Amino acid sequence: DIQMTQSPSSLSASVGDRVTIPCRASQSISRYLNWYQQKPGEAPKLLIYATSNLQRGVPSRFSGSASGTDFTLTISSLQPEDFATYYCQQSYSTPYTFGQGTKLEIK
């Protein structure tokens, strides 16, 4: 199985900050990497698919990039509604594994 590693498990930042959330795959997954946002008590929401494609309706302050097996979700200017947990997920091969999540907290 492909392991997805998200470290750190939590991150503190302030409104207006630029934030990067990393995710590493245990082997090559091409560009089959997706990002989800989850707020407490809610279902996950797709933000980015195939490494860098913004899902319809998601603000343009969210972006995704990759270098080899390292992937990054960037939020250019944090808004109050962005404090949540972020999960990466590989869709290269089954089982379609998720990272453990990075919780973005208010500093």
Interface contacts to other proteins, rule CB under 8 A = 32, 34, 36, 38, 43-46, 49-50, 55, 87, 89, 91, 94-101
Cβ contact 102:10 at 8 Å:
yes
Least distance from other proteins to the Cβ atom of residue 103, Å: 10
Rg of the chain over CA atoms, in angstroms?
13
Residue 14 or 94: the one with the smaller Cβ distance to other proteins is: 94
Q: Give 50 or 106: the residue with its C-beta nearer to other proteins.
A: 50
77 DSSP assignment: S
The rounded distance, in Å, linking the Cα atoms of 26 and 18 is 27
Taking the least distance from each CB to other proteins, the nearer of 83 and 98 is 98
Write down the least CB distance from residue 60 to other proteins, Å. 18
d(CA 1, CA 4): 10
